[in-house]
Amino acid sequence: MHMLTDHLVILPILLPLATGAILLFLDDRLRPVKAAINFASTLLLVVLAALLVRHAAEAGQADAVGNATYPLGNWPVPFGIVLVADRLSALLVLLTSILGLCALAFSLARWHAVGPSFHSLFQFLLMGLCGAFLTGDLFNLFVFFEVLLAASYGLALHGSGSARVRAGLHYIAINLAASSLFLIGAALIYGVVGTLNMADIAARVANVADADRGLLEAGAGILGIAFLVKAGMWPLGFWLPNTYAAASAPVAALFAIMTKVGIYAVLRLSLLVFGDEAGASAGFGHAFLLYGGMATIAYGAIGALASQSTARLSGNLVLVSSGTLLAAIGFGNAGVVSGALFYLVSSTLAISALFLLVELVERIRIEGADILAVTMEAYGDDEEEDEEQEVGVIIPGALAVLGISFAICALVLSGLPPLSGFLAKFAMISPMLNPEGLATVNEVSPSAWWLAGLLIFSGFAALIALTRTGINTFWATIAEGPAAVRVIEIVPVIVLLGLCVAMVVLAGPIMTYLEAAATALHAPAGYIADVLAAPVVVDMGAAP
């Protein structure tokens, strides 16, 4: 047990790596075995991530308990690579593992069999995601980004077909260009500061010579562009709806967390390196994030209204979610960021569920109904025949479950009470309008009005778009025969949406955790001290 807690921080990376490697050696004819191994490993990952969250929640509570750190290869900290699991990292690892488990369960019904090496790529994607969330080293972050991108290229093409290959080509080209920007930015920062450890960079930023400061900020800006391409900020996110709409359902559900990796990197680095203690560079880039995020919300909301297919609608809702988070980070207030973290979890769960639902819903629809419905709206609805059928239609069980799930998704994504989307928006807008707390009376800044207005507008747009899709799907003439939905496909959707409901019930403890996380992000001194003082194991004789 002692061994487990010592090495807990690295296990979410090692476990998927080992599982993915083992699965490579198994032939595809043993697919049930591979599926079983993959499922067991992902389930174990959820348990490990939950332990990590429990450990992180204790950090800072009792004396002498800091953030969990893990120096790789036992090298002392600024020289070697270090893994850090603070509250934010642990939370995102848990979210990744839960999405992974649900997407995997969904894929077992059908999708995992349509192409080779699905299970290995799936585990490597989980490894890259967990690694990117846990690492405390800038170049190591690049390596984990490449691991997760390489796996995502394979998964985006999973199932093959002309549309996927075409969208995949654009996706790969854009991400390769973004990776070059990442390297340029990281190299510039190393050239100025002389270290790649994030905490060490943050500790040295205030003392950078004025002549070098421009170079440092240029490096940070280029690095930021690389992250924002991944996060899908307008005008860098045009690739996103195409790729997500073309990807197979379980892959798209897992991709819902991939934009959040870019968001995480921006959140971590902008608050750590350019926080209040950064001297002349404090607050660098925050205004850019705020306005860029607001433009992304507007673009995503208009895109959602204009979407003709449900998959593209979900892709545009991913953009809205990204934009909201970026604007909240750029707003520069710990209260807003803690609300934004709640929004991150809730919107990722709901979008992931929506991507899974889209696939199930498409099955009960008539081919081309999307375009037909939009055309009918434009040219007037002339469907007046079926008036005598109002005696009563038997709603099949599967259809009812799908409809209710879709309605819950719409409620969460548009931010209507009583579900988690509403709480998240409330938690963001309240500190936006009262940054000093509810007790003091203060003037509301114009950017707060704009952002709050855009948040409510984007919720309204999502509501209209989702309601229209829902009406055209569930209240329209549906395909002949009962809806073919298997239990293993609907259970992941119910689990994801159930977690959104659970977030409402447990909102108190979750918000306490997230507020502590946001406060720690805005006061990076604790993080820096924990990482730089990361202990190396001294008595090597104790370990066999």
Partner 1 sequence: MELILAIAIGVLTTCGVWLLLRPRTFQVIVGLSLISYAVNLFIFGMGRLRIDAAPVVEGGVIDPANYTDPVPQALVLTAIVIGFAMTALFLVVLLAARGFTGTDHVDGRER
Which is nearer to partner 1, 177 or 537 (by Cβ)? Answer: 177
- Separation of alpha carbons 93 and 126, rounded Å: 9
CB hemisphere CA count around 453 (13 angstroms): 8
Distances 379 to 256, 374, 375, 382, 534 between C-alpha atoms, Å? 35, 9, 6, 9, 67
* Number of alpha carbons in the 13 Å side-chain half-sphere of residue 220: 28
Dist. CA 159–CA 251, nearest whole Å:
10
Distance CA 265, CA 261 (A): 6
Q: What count of other Cβ atoms lies within 10 Å of the Cβ of residue 519? A: 16
Q: How far is the CB of 234 from partner 1 (least distance, A)?
A: 20
Whole-number minimum distance, CB 540 to partner 1, in Å? 19
| 421 vs 408: CA distance, rounded Å | 10
What sign for the dihedral angle of Cα 258, 261, 264, 270? negative
Amino acid at 136: G
From the list 80, 181, 38, 70, the residue with the least C-alpha distance to 530 is 70
Nearest-CA neighbor of 348 among 292, 409, 294, 404?
409
Q: How far is the CB of 190 from partner 1 (least distance, A)?
A: 6
What is the largest distance, in Å, between two alpha-carbon atoms of the chain? Answer: 85
Query: Tokens 């509570």 correspond to what residue?
Result: 61
Rounded CA gap, 463 and 304, in Å?
10
Q: Smallest distance, Å, CB 150 to partner 1?
A: 7
Q: Given the complex with partner 1, which of 167 and 202 has the nearer CB atom?
A: 167
Residue (163 or 471) nearer to partner 1, CB: 163
Measured from the CB atom, the residue of 21 and 173 that comes closer to partner 1 is 173
Instruction: Work out how close the CB of 120 gets to partner 1 at its nearest, in angstroms, rounded to a whole number.
Output: 15
Query: Please, what is the minimum distance in Å from the beta carbon of residue 325 to partner 1?
Result: 27
Alpha helices, DSSP H, located in 389-486: 397-414, 420-433, 446-474
CB of 161 to partner 1, least distance (A): 8
Torsion of CA 101, 106, 108, 114, to 10 degrees: -120
Q: Which is nearer to partner 1, 154 or 232 (CB)?
A: 154
Task: Tell me whether residue 102 or residue 198 sits nearer to partner 1 (CB atom).
Answer: 198
**Shortest separation between residue 83's beta carbon and partner 1, angstroms:** 18
Give the pair of three-digit tokens for residue 292. 């860029």
398 to each of 218, 353, 364, how far by Cα in Å? 54, 16, 10
- Judged by CB, which is closer to partner 1: 15, or 167? 167
| Residue 371: Cβ-neighbour burial (10 angstroms; 0-12, 13-18, 19+) | exposed
Tell me the closest approach of the beta carbon of residue 273 to partner 1, in angstroms: 18
In angstroms, give the least distance from the CB of 471 to partner 1.
Answer: 34
Indicate the SS3 state at residue 239.
Answer: helix
- In Å, how far from its chain's centre is CA 16? 19
Q: Within 10 A of 295 (CB to CB), how many other CB atoms are there?
A: 17
CB of 200 to partner 1, least distance (A): 13
For residues 60 and 80, which CB has a smaller minimum distance to partner 1 in the complex? 80
Q: What contacts 272, CB < 8 A, 6 or more positions away? A: 198, 199, 201, 202, 521, 524, 527, 528
Per DSSP, the three-state class of 439 is coil
β-pair type (82-85, 68-71): antiparallel
Where along the sequence are the contacts to partner 1 (CB under 8 A)?
A: 139, 143, 146, 150, 153, 157, 160-162, 165-166, 168-170, 172-173, 176-177, 179-180, 183-184, 186-188, 190-191, 196
Query: Quick one: 191 or 418, whose CB is closer to partner 1?
Result: 191
Nearer of residues 173 and 444 to partner 1, judged by Cβ? 173
Nearer to partner 1, 238 or 291 (CB): 238
Q: How far is the CB of 268 from partner 1 (least distance, A)?
A: 20
Among residues 5 and 180, whose Cβ is nearest to partner 1?
180
